[in-house]
Chain A
Amino acid sequence: MNKTSTDILIVGAGPAGLAAAAAAANSGGTVTLIDENPRAGGQIWRAELGKIRSPAASKFLRALTQGRVDLINSATVFAFSGDNTLTAQTPGGSISISCGKMILAAGARERFLPFPGWTLPGVFGAGGLQALVKGGLSIENKRIVVAGSGPLLLAVADYLKTHGATVLVIAEQASAAKIRRFARGLWRQPEKMVQAAALRARLIGIPYKPDTWITRCRGPRVSKRLARELEVTIKSRGSSRVIECDYVACGFHLVPNLELPMLLGCQIRDGSVSVGDHQQTSVRDVYCAGELTGIAGIESSLIEGEIAGLAASGQTEKAKTLIKKRDAATGFGRALDHTFALRPELKHLVEDDTLICRCEDVSYAQVKDFATFREAKLQTRCGMGPCQGRVCGPAVEYLLGWEPASVRPPIFPVKMKYL
């Protein structure tokens, strides 16, 4: 095992981690940024064919290119030991990095809700399909249904369209009234408004349907090849219709990747990490920024990252000046939570034979009568596969009201020799 140490260790090279790195880079101490992807950028700035194309990112990437921050790519953090040391698996071996201060910026993932047909090839996450296109998948002339919930659906539909796909519909489960209120609120946030308006303009031609959700998906039954044609049923105010398409891009807003903060013992409240004015968590020398502290989008990730980077590197005075701006940005997060909260009807999408756990192929009927997630896990292996409950966990928390399961190392599957 390779061992190194650094003054400030940042996990996650998305906007929050990059902003933290840029802010800390001037402090004189050593700054190390570690990320599981082959390139920096996180989700929104995910590299497209190996390059980050967003102009907004360049400012933050400078600290990297100028060599003031050490970037370790393709490294998945899976364990923590008491002396402020994280261990990661890389293609070349495992590394263990000890640090003075730690900034967690592990971001979020999409929430997936099971519905009949959600395991068919060709049914992707919304951000999931976007990420695959960024990774080189061609969607030229593909007919795509975008569904689920959250502002990400708009960004994804726009992205898919500009890459040659025909987006047939955006099915948003949130109510029209909530969306209207939310959109009006955006006026208070000039940057967001510009973003939203630009999007809306470009989206002309794509029907955006609130109060609408997917209820099932059918594909060609006997086929060894990937499904090319899917039949999607969407429901809108009591009426259903069937749409034929090539791909489905469906995600129900986002959930923070809490595994790492939980492993470290950070206090979690209402599904996100609790932080103080300077992004400090309940654990000494551990800071948290970005989607981990609540889903609030890129502006919030950037400002939280900057505050965390400043505070962790001792520039607390400078950090203080940003608190007000940060609080405004996190307010946006609360509006998101409220607007895109899941409607109760979505609890009834699952049927008894719908799979809940895709890793272990566990059906809804197998788990629904258990009182706790732990019991269901132990008895049915639901959530015990390699994704470790990252997909089914948020789903059963919503469907069955279970508490999240506890976290143990390794937080990602890892080669036995690196344990």
Chain B
Amino acid sequence: MASNKKTFDAAIVGAGIVGAACAVALAREGLKVLILDSSSAASGTTAAGMGHIVAMDDSPAQLALTHYSQKLWRRLAPELPASCEYENCGTIWVAANADEMSEVHRKKAVYDENGITAHVLDAQALLDAEPNLAKHLSGGLLVDSDAVVYQLAATRYLLLKAVKQGAEYRQFNSVASLSDDGVGLPSGERISAGTTINAAGAHAGDLSPSLEIRPRKGHLVITDRYPGFVRHQLVELGYLKSAHGSDASSVAFNVQPRKTGQILLGSSRQFNSNDDAVDNAILNRMAARGFEYMPALKEMSAVRVWTGFRPATPDNLPYIGKVTGFKNIYAAAGHEGLGITMSLGTAELLADEIMGRESPIPRQPYSPGRSAASS
């Protein structure tokens, strides 16, 4: 724990949504917190994300953390300012054929087991819920508790909340190195801190080489305003296949209604690209996938296209906890496509570990040491 001689109790590197959430949790514990970002708040991957707060069941550990985090979001929602556009719109996992319908039932059983309310929709019920979906789809699974948030405003809100609780925020302040007694700046200057939290997202591996994080590029398109056109977040059931660890690039139908009436269309996944330019080939594949599920998207006016890099780990789970080989360096990074959802849960688990407490869900699956242990 923090020694009294240090300037700060905790130095957090990265003011993305994960770093901001950690700052709130640690400041709440009474720690003297410093947050540093080489750019401005929420300008990394957080700026590129979709803001879907989703209970995702790729693995039990993934479901545990997303579900836990989702509850924390619901608890936070009443205090979020309107700019955060939090909306409990629910998700519909869309089944394109009979095979996928059986997946709907399997998924429903998993959600039931975990206390997540989900409803099976047949083809007609699906069209009633979302009249603009293609007519040939088989049905879907409606998950009530999923939500959408404008994660940029939420990050800013969290950061300001941390500052109100006494944290100090320094933007445009790069960190060059981490050590057990603080952070080193490019100038050579050192800032001492009892603990250091690496929340540098896709760049966390630059500062802590033992963290295996690879950038996984994604594209998103946003349209002009078409209020009421889409009502729930709509995701094809094949999404998990796309989100899985495979190296090949993939696309999946994923549409989000924004509170503004705008529609956000995703998603694509590509490894081995560090270029943030729009890749027309994959963008076209992604759009074509969208049209299969929702033909009327074709005529909609696309206002902007952008890309972002998900911080991906080999097993699709984030690193939360003490970094192997160090006494005082912790990781809160590597959330791939779920960092907005998982940010709040991550912060709680991290605070619990630093404060030496039990957590409501087991922390071990996210421990940075796990890859060494499992291999």
Query: Which residues of B sit under 8 angstroms from A410, Cβ to Cβ?
Result: 302, 304-305
Beta-carbon contacts under 8 Å, B286-310 to A: 287, 290-291, 297-306
Smallest Cβ-Cβ distance to A375: which chain B residue: B40
Count of A interface residues, CB-CB < 8 Å: 22
Provide the residues of chain B in CB contact with A414, threshold 8 Å. Answer: 301-302
CB <8 Å contact, B305 and A419: yes
Give chain B's interface secondary structure class.
mixed
Residue of A nearest to B277 (CB): A408
Which of A81, A374, A379 has the most CB atoms of chain B within a 10 A radius of its CB?
A379
Binds B, one of A243-251, A271-279, A296-304, A383-391: A383-391
* Contact, CB under 8 Å: B300 / A416: yes
Q: Are B303 and A379 in contact (CB under 8 A)?
A: no
CB of A226 within 8 A of chain B?
A: no
Q: Which residues of B contact A416 (CB under 8 A)?
A: 221, 223, 265, 287, 290-291, 297-302
Give CA–CA (A385, B297) in the complex, Å: 18
B264 is an interface residue with CB less than 8 A from chain A? no
Give chain A residues whose Cβ lies under 8 Å from the Cβ of B224: 386, 413
Q: A81 touches which one: B221, B280, B297 (CB < 8 A)?
A: B280
A379-B153 contact in complex given A408-B278, A419-B283, C-beta closer than 8 Å: yes
- Residues in A with CB closer than 8 Å to B297 are 416
Closest chain-B Cβ to A285's Cβ sits at a distance in Å of 20
Q: Are A408 and B303 in contact (CB under 8 A)?
A: no
Q: Given contacts A374-B43, A416-B265, A419-B283, is CB(A379)–CB(B301) below 8 Å?
A: no
Q: Is A378 an interface residue (CB 8 A)?
A: yes
Bound Cα distance A380, B85 (Å): 12
0/1 string, A367-405, CB within 8 A of B gives 1: 000011011001110001110100000000000000000
Is A38 an interface residue, CB under 8 A from the partner?
A: no
The answer for the CA separation of A417 and B291 in the assembled complex, in Å, is 8
B42 on the interface (CB 8 Å rule)? yes
How many angstroms between the C-alpha atoms of A371 and B172 in the bound complex? 11
Cα distance, A81 to B277, chains bound together (Å): 11
Interface assignment of A3: CB less than 8 Å from any CB of chain B: no
The answer to whether B152 and A379 touch across the interface, beta carbons within 8 angstroms, is yes
Is B28 part of the contact surface with A, judged by Cβ < 8 Å?
no
Contact of A409 among B43, B172, B278, B298 (CB under 8 A): B278
Is residue A284 within 8 Å, beta carbon to beta carbon, of the partner chain? no
Chain B residues 112 to 166 lying within 8 A of chain A, measured CB to CB, are 152-153, 156
Question: Which residue of B43, B284, B304 contacts A408 across the interface (Cβ within 8 Å)?
Answer: B304
Q: Which B residues between 266 and 287 are near A, CB-CB below 8 angstroms?
A: 278, 280, 283-284, 287
- Asked if B304 and A415 sit within 8 Å, CB to CB, the answer is no
* Distance, CA A168 to CA B327, complexed state (A): 77
Q: B305, A408: Cβ atoms under 8 Å?
A: yes
Q: Closest chain A residue to B301 by CB distance? A: A413
Which B residues are CB-close (under 8 A) to A375? 40-41, 43
Interface set of A (CB-CB < 8 Å, partner B): 79, 81, 371-372, 374-375, 378-380, 384-386, 388, 408-410, 413-417, 419
Q: A408-B305, A419-B284 are in contact. List 5 more A-B contacts (CB 8 A).
A: A372-B40, A378-B152, A380-B83, A385-B303, A410-B305
Can you list 17 A-B pairs, Cβ within 8 angstroms, ordered by A? A79-B280, A371-B40, A371-B172, A375-B43, A379-B83, A380-B83, A385-B303, A388-B304, A408-B306, A410-B302, A413-B301, A416-B297, A416-B300, A416-B302, A417-B299, A419-B284, A419-B287
